[in-house]
Amino acid sequence: MSNSSTQRWERYEQALLTALGCTAAEGHPERASYRLLVIPTFHPICACEYAFAERTATLRVAALPSVSNPLFDYFFGQQTQTTEVSAIEEAMFSCLEATVALTDPAQLRQRFISLARPEVDPRDLAARDGANLRLDLLDPHGRATLHAQVGLLTESTALAGWVEALIDTALERIGDVRPAAPLKHARSYLLPG
């Protein structure tokens, strides 16, 4: 991917995170946070974000319910009649979201800290289709952002462990609300079994 394409993709990801409201930890370097953005090829975009303060924590699950979205059209289509701000606002209007306070922040934080740092493993990569993942971590081990275009994740890779932990924990805690449906669907095609 060329440098301009990479920069455009990163701006697209950031615009998606803004539209999904998954920016709680940005600008707060003292907070631990874990965020997963799933951008599937043929399914709705979804994200889950965990933000930890000293004694409290929140989980946010958000999704754009349509496979097509105004941000993709703005960044990669021929949309010359709109602005980035208006595309973000249009996506925000359609966003499904749920936020809950987590009752066991210390245990949950420890669970995430104990996971091996994720790396992109060649066994996880997809030539086409699949999904683009962005995983942002900020904890005592430091700050890291991982980008990968993946197919079915191999159970033995650290990336699969992170995706499973973040999605499964979110689905357990958030319940059966509308924003959880795209996350469930993402799990079904990203993780084996």
Domain that holds residue 156: 3-190
Residue 147, burial from CB neighbour count under 10 angstroms (0-12, 13-18, 19+)? middle
Average of pLDDT values for 58-83?
85
pLDDT at 147 > cutoff 90: no
pLDDT at residue number 131: 83
Q: Is 189 left (phi over 0), alpha (psi -120 to 50) or beta?
A: alpha
Q: pTM here?
A: 0.90
pLDDT at residue number 30: 66
Average of pLDDT values for 165-179?
90
pLDDT at residue number 77: 83
DSSP state of 123: G
pLDDT in tens, 92-134: 999 999 999 999 999 999 999 898 888 776 665 655 567 889 8
pLDDT at residue number 125: 64
Structurally, how many domains does the chain consist of? 1
